[in-house]
Amino acid sequence: MKAIPDIAISIRQPWTWAVIHAAKDIENRGWRRPNPGLNFRGEVAIHAAQGMTQAEFVAAAAFVQAIGVSCPPAAELLRGGIIGVATVTDVVSSHPSPWWMGPRGLVLADARPVEFIPCRGALGFFKWQRDDEAIAPKPARWMMPKPVAPVLQEAFL
Tell me the pLDDT of the chain (157 aa) as tens digits.
Answer: 578 999 999 999 999 999 999 999 999 999 988 888 899 999 999 999 999 999 999 999 999 999 999 999 999 999 999 999 999 999 999 999 999 999 999 999 999 999 999 999 999 999 999 998 876 677 778 888 776 655 554 555 5
Closest CA to 145 of 93, 89, 70, 73: 73
Give the predicted TM-score (pTM) of the model.
Answer: 0.86
Q: How long a stretch of residues is the chain? A: 157
3-state secondary structure of 147: coil
